[in-house]
C-alpha cells in the first residue's frame, strides 16, 4: 500500500456534513459567470470586464474569498459575497505516498437536500517532466466493465462542471500551484518554476462521455489560457467507447483521446466492456479514424488492461497491431489491478513483456520513463480499493511500461 507521509486530515463524520448554502462560482464558463453576475444586478456593460477580473483572481491567483479580489470594487465584492462563494469540494482526507503521489478524498453534496453526501477521489502523479492530475467525472459508473471496481458501484450522480474544475482547484490549493502561493513541501513537488499540475487525465471514476456537457465545460475552463491554462494537448479524456459522442468530443472540446479497448474480438469485449454490445469494435475504430484533429502528432491512446489468460495471448497482441494499423495510435498496456471480489488476475510479467515486444516490433516505440506515481493505477483503475497484490519490483516495471508515451 501507499506509504503515507502525512497524516490524513481528520475526517468529520458523514452525518455532520453541511452542504454549502450558497452556490460556488468555481467551474462556471465565462458565459455562465456573466449570467451569475447579471442575476445579482451587475449591469451587462460591465460583464466582460468583471468576468475577466474574477477569472484572473480565481484561476491564476487561486482566490478562495471575494475579499482577496482587490481590483474589484468593495461594493461588488460585498454583493458577490452575499450570493456566492468560491468554494471547492470539501477535502476530507489527503495522502502523500513516498513517490510523491497524492490522493484527496473529496466530499460532495447529494443530489437532493438532506441526502447523504458523496465521496470521490482525485489523484496527483508527479513525474520528472510533468505532474498529472486524474479527475473523476461521475460518482460511480453505469457501465459495468467486468474488471473495474468503479463499475460495481451504482451510479450515484454526474458531477457538475464546478465539481470537476473543483478537483483541479483543490489540487492546486494543496500543492501551492497558484501565482503567489507557497509551494507544498514533499516528494515530487517542483520547488519553483514549473507548473505543479501540468496535465489532466479524465480517468478517475465514471464515463466522461456520459456526462459530456459538464466535462466539456469543465475542460474548457481548465484549458482557458487566461486562467488555469492547461493546454488541450495536455488533457486526455478516456472513454470506454461511447461512439456517438466521440465526434462531438473532438469537435467541441478537442482534447487528446484515450480509448479503453481491452480486447480485439467482439465476443470478448462484450464481456469485458459490455457497452461493446451497443458500439462494437468496428464502429469504435471507425469513430477513432474520424476523430477530429487526429494526426501523427495527435494520436489516440489505446488502453489495454492485461488480464491473465483472458486477453493476453501473443495472438491477441498480433491482432491488436493489425486492428490499429492505419490509425495514429499509442498503446498503453495497463497491468490489471485486482480488487476484493474481482474475477481476474494480472498477466504474468513475462507474458506482458512478450506481449509488449510484439507491439514494440510493430513500431509502437515507447521510451520507458522513470516510473513515478505508480499508485495511480490503483486510483484510476480501482478507485477506493486497497489491495495491491504485485510485488514492488513487478509494480515498478509494469508501471514503467504503462507510463510510456
Which of the residues are catalytic?
Answer: 121, 380
Minimum distance from CB of 382 to ligand SF4 (Å)?
9
Q: What character string, x for contact with ligand SAH (CB under 6 A) and - otherwise, covers 191-230? A: ------------x---x-----------------------
Q: Does 334 bind ligand SAH (CB under 6 A)?
A: yes
Helix axes 243-252, 281-289, angle to 10 degrees: 10
Distance of alpha carbon 226 from alpha carbon 248, whole angstroms: 24
Q: What character string, x for contact with ligand SF4 (CB under 6 A) and - otherwise, covers 197-236? A: ---------xx-----------------------------
Minimum distance from CB of 137 to ligand SF4 (Å)?
9
The single residue among 132, 199, 223, 240 that binds ligand SF4, judged by CB under 6 A, is: 240
Q: How many residues bind ligand SF4 (CB under 6 A)?
A: 11
Which C-beta is closer to ligand SAH: that of 121 or that of 207? 207
How long, in residues, is the chain? 405
157 binds, among ligand SF4, ligand SAH, none (CB under 5 to 8 A by kind): none
203 binds, among ligand SF4, ligand SAH, none (CB under 5 to 8 A by kind): ligand SAH
Minimum distance from CB of 403 to ligand SAH (Å)?
13
Q: Which stretch binds ligand SAH (CB under 6 A): 10-18, 54-62, 121-129, 234-242?
A: 234-242
Strands (E), 24-166: 90-96, 102-108, 118-126, 131-134, 138-139, 157-158
Q: Which grid cell sits at 59?
A: 484561476
Which C-beta is closer to ligand SF4: that of 46 or that of 271? 271
Distance from chain centroid for Cα 144: 19
Distance of alpha carbon 167 from alpha carbon 175, whole angstroms: 12
- Angle at CA of residue 214, ends 79 and 112, nearest 5°: 70
Please report the DSSP string for 376-391 in residue order.
HHHHHHSTT-----S-
Alpha helices by DSSP H, 119-211 = 161-175
Please report the DSSP string for 214-230 in residue order.
HHHHHHHHHH-TTTT--
> If we measure between CA atoms, which residue out of 234, 239, 235 comes closest to residue 206?
239
Q: Does 148 bind ligand SAH (CB under 6 A)?
A: yes
Q: Which stretch binds ligand SAH (CB under 6 A): 49-57, 76-84, 143-151, 227-235?
A: 143-151
Dihedral sign for Cα 91, 93, 96, 101, please: negative
Q: Does 80 bind ligand SF4 (CB under 6 A)?
A: no
Which C-beta is closer to ligand SF4: that of 148 or that of 403? 148
3-class SS shares of the chain: helix, strand, coil, % to 5: 35, 15, 45
Distance of alpha carbon 145 from alpha carbon 263, whole angstroms: 12
Q: Does 156 bind ligand SAH (CB under 6 A)?
A: no
Site for ligand SF4 in 138-177 (CB under 6 A): 141, 143-145, 148, 150-151
Q: Does 276 bind ligand SAH (CB under 6 A)?
A: no
Decide: helix, strand or coil at residue 192: coil
Q: Which stretch binds ligand SAH (CB under 6 A): 35-43, 140-148, 190-198, 322-330?
A: 140-148
Q: Are 340 and 311 in contact (CB under 8 A)?
A: no
Residues that bind ligand SAH (CB under 6 A): 145, 147-149, 203, 207, 238-240, 260, 303, 305, 334, 336-337, 380-382
Residues that bind ligand SF4 (CB under 6 A): 141, 143-145, 148, 150-151, 206-207, 240, 260
Amino acid at each position: 500500500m501507499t506509504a503515507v507521509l502525512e497524516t490524513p486530515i481528520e475526517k468529520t463524520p458523514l452525518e455532520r456534513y453541511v452542504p454549502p448554502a450558497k452556490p460556488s462560482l468555481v467551474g462556471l464558463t465565462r458565459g455562465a459567470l456573466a449570467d451569475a453576475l447579471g442575476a445579482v444586478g451587475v449591469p451587462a456593460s460591465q460583464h466582460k470586464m468583471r468576468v475577466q477580473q474574477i477569472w484572473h483572481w480565481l484561476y491564476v491567483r487561486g482566490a478562495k474569498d471575494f475579499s482577496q479580489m482587490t481590483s474589484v470594487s468593495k461594493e461588488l465584492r460585498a454583493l458577490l459575497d452575499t450570493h456566492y462563494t468560491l468554494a471547492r469540494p470539501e477535502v476530507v482526507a489527503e495522502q502523500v505516498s513516498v513517490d510523491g503521489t497524492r490522493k484527496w478524498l473529496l466530499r460532495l453534496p447529494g443530489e437532493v437536500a438532506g441526502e447523504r453526501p458523496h465521496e470521490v477521489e482525485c489523484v496527483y502523479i508527479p513525474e520528472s517532466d510533468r505532474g498529472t492530475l486524474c479527475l473523476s467525472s461521475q460518482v460511480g459508473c453505469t457501465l459495468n466493465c467486468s474488471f473495474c471496481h468503479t463499475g460495481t458501484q451504482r451510479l450515484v450522480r454526474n458531477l457538475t462542471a464546478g465539481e470537476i474544475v473543483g478537483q483541479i482547484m483543490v489540487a492546486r490549493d494543496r500543492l501551492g500551484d497558484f501565482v503567489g502561493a507557497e509551494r507544498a513541501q514533499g516528494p515530487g513537488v517542483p520547488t519553483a518554476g514549473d507548473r505543479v499540475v501540468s496535465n489532466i487525465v479524465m480517468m478517475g471514476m465514471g464515463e466522461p462521455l456520459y456526462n459530456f456537457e459538464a466535462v466539456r465545460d469543465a475542460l474548457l475552463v481548465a484549458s482557458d489560457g487566461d486562467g488555469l491554462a492547461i493546454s488541450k494537448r495536455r488533457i486526455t479524456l478516456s472513454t470506454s467507447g461511447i461512439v456517438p459522442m466521440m465526434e462531438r468530443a473532438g469537435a467541441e472540446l478537442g482534447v487528446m483521446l484515450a480509448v479503453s479497448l481491452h480486447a480485439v474480438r467482439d465476443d470478448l469485449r462484450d464481456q469485458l466492456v459490455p457497452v461493446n454490445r451497443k458500439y462494437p469494435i468496428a464502429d469504435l475504430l471507425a469513430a477513432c479514424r474520424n476523430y477530429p484533429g487526429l494526426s501523427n502528432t495527435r494520436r489516440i491512446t489505446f488502453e489495454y488492461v492485461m488480464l491473465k489468460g483472458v486477453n493476453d495471448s501473443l495472438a491477441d497482441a498480433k491482432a491488436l497491431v493489425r486492428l490499429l494499423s492505419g490509425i495514429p495510435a499509442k498503446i498503453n498496456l495497463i497491468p490489471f489491478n485486482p480488487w476484493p471480489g474481482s474475477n481476474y488476475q494480472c498477466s504474468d510479467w513475462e507474458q506482458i513483456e512478450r506481449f509488449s515486444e510484439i507491439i514494440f516490433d510493430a513500431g509502437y516505440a515507447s521510451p520507458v520513463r522513470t516510473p513515478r506515481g505508480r499508485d495511480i493505477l490503483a486510483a484510476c483503475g480501482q478507485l477506493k480499493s486497497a489491495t495491491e497484490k504485485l510485488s514492488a519490483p513487478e509494480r515498478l516495471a509494469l508501471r514503467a511500461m504503462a507510463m510510456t508515451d
